[in-house]
């Protein structure tokens, strides 16, 4: 009997304690929820703050990189580059930026062949970490290449390079600014050594270009330190039988000769000559790249991607997500 009473007391005590604990939990449930909500809000606030600091750090890193590639003792390289919208455009620009990031005192003048500056190129340049100027001008319709036209049929990038020259003349000063002007293309490959060598250009410097003109290379032929002729298959009698990637011009010459520009109406292969004939003679050319015996730049056009399946999806009304930038 005593044991039975003790067991009942034990069960009663357990029931009272359990009920009390349950009541306490019910009464304080709101406090737990409020505490959890506050902690969640605090976590979200800290996450946002962390992201802001990460963005600031990324900006600081880009600024520090820009400072690291600036050297007041060196002239600036102004690279004027035409570009146009196509599937591989961003990939090409990304590849080039990885090279240009290593070049000290580099100013990228990127000129779009379009009626307006595109969002893709605008965003790309804003995040590339390179000093740049973003311009645009549309090629006249009569001089636009059709899809099936060969690359050599019409001069390309003429208006874009000329507006780049115009920007230099309107924004730079002969007494204040020192530099070298180079006409780059967005589908070439460049050795860093090329930029180191062209920086010493006093007038117009020249060098070989690889994989161009249907040859392994084209180059100026040098004898006793002077350019005497051109190694090329196509019209070697041209005044300057050289590829656009094969020369650089001292900024002073560009500023001193405002009439010098690329001619839109020019025979095949004479585009480079249309500019250079206003600036220099063959006798005064400066051969670089070990007397024009080393190739430091290549015409490496990226293969045009095949969009057969993408076009089928468009026909089916199920194109890939246009919000994903390629």
Q: What is the pLDDT of residues 198-253, one digit of tens each?
A: 999 999 999 999 999 999 999 999 999 999 999 999 999 999 999 999 999 999 99
List Cβ neighbours of 322 (8 Å cut-off, separation of 6 or more): none
Predicted confidence at residue 6, as pLDDT, reads 60
* Edge-to-edge strand ranges of the sheet holding 106-112: 131-136, 106-112, 76-83, 179-183, 247-250, 204-206, 286-287
CA 69 to chain centre: 16
Structure tokens at 39: 């902690």
Cα-Cα-Cα-Cα dihedral of 243, 248, 249, 254, to 10°?
A: 70
Q: In the numeric block, which tokens belong to residue 159?
A: 């208006």
- Whether residue 48 has pLDDT greater than 80: no
Looking at per-residue pLDDT, the higher value among 45 and 299 belongs to 299
The whole-angstrom separation of Cα 169 and Cα 138 is: 20
89-96 long-range contacts, CB within 8 A, separation 24+: 89/120, 89/121, 89/186, 90/120, 90/124, 90/325, 90/326, 91/302, 91/326, 92/186, 92/187, 92/302, 93/121, 93/124, 93/128, 93/186, 94/124, 96/184, 96/186, 96/190
Which position has the higher pLDDT, 212 or 53? 212
More confident position, 134 or 302: 134
pLDDT value at residue 2: 44
Whether the pLDDT of residue 135 is over 70: the answer is yes
Phi/psi of residue 248, nearest 5 degrees: -140, 155
Q: Is residue 14 over pLDDT 70?
A: no
Does the pLDDT value for residue 29 go beyond 60?
no
* Pair 260, 240: CB distance under 8 Å: no
pLDDT score, position 241:
97
Other residues' Cβ atoms within 10 Å of the Cβ of residue 308: 7
* Whole-prediction pTM: 0.79
Percent of the chain beyond pLDDT 90?
66
Assigned token pair, 170:
């309107």
Bridge pairing between strands 204-206 and 297-299:
unpaired
Distances (CA, A) of 119 to 135, 187, 262: 13, 20, 28
Annotated catalytic residues are: 272
* Nearest Cα to Cα of residue 199 among 182, 184, 183, 175: 182
Paired tokens of 146? 């059709």
Q: Answer whether residue 5 shows pLDDT above 50.
A: no
> What are residue 229's DSSP bridge partners?
221
- For the chain, give the mean pLDDT: 88
Which stretch of DSSP H or E encloses residue 309? Answer: helix 308-315
Give the tens place of pLDDT for each residue, 148-199.
Answer: 777 777 788 999 999 999 999 999 999 999 999 999 999 999 999 999 999 9
């Amino acid at each position: 009997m005593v044991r039975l009473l003790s067991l009942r007391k034990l069960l009663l005590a357990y029931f009272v304690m359990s009920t009390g604990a349950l009541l306490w939990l019910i009464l304080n449930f709101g406090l737990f929820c409020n505490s959890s909500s506050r902690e969640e809000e605090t976590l979200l606030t800290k996450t946002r703050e962390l992201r802001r600091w990460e963005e600031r750090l990324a900006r600081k890193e880009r600024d520090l990189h820009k400072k690291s590639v600036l050297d007041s003792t060196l002239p600036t390289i102004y690279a004027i580059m035409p570009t146009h919208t196509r599937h591989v455009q961003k990939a090409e620009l990304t590849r080039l930026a990885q090279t240009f990031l290593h070049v000290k005192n580099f100013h990228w003048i990127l000129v779009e062949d379009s009626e307006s500056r595109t969002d893709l190129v605008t965003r790309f340049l804003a995040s590339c970490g390179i000093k740049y100027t973003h311009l645009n001008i549309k090629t006249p319709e009569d001089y636009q290449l059709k899809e099936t036209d060969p690359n050599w049929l019409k001069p390309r990038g003429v208006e874009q390079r000329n507006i780049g020259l115009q920007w230099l003349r309107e924004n730079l000063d002969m007494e204040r600014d020192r530099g070298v002007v180079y006409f780059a293309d967005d589908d070439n490959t460049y050795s860093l050594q090329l930029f180191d060598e062209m920086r010493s250009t006093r007038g117009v410097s020249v060098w070989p270009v690889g994989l161009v003109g249907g040859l392994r290379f084209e180059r100026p032929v040098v004898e006793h330190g002077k350019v005497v002729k051109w190694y090329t298959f196509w019209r070697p009698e041209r005044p300057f039988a050289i590829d656009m990637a094969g020369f650089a011009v001292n900024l002073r010459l560009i500023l001193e000769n405002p009439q010098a520009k690329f001619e839109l109406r020019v025979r095949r292969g004479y585009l480079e000559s249309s500019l250079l004939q206003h600036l220099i003679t063959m006798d005064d050319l400066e051969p670089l790249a070990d007397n024009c015996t080393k190739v430091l730049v290549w015409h490496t056009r990226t293969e045009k991607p095949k969009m057969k399946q993408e076009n089928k999806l468009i026909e089916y009304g199920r194109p890939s997500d246009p919000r994903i930038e390629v």
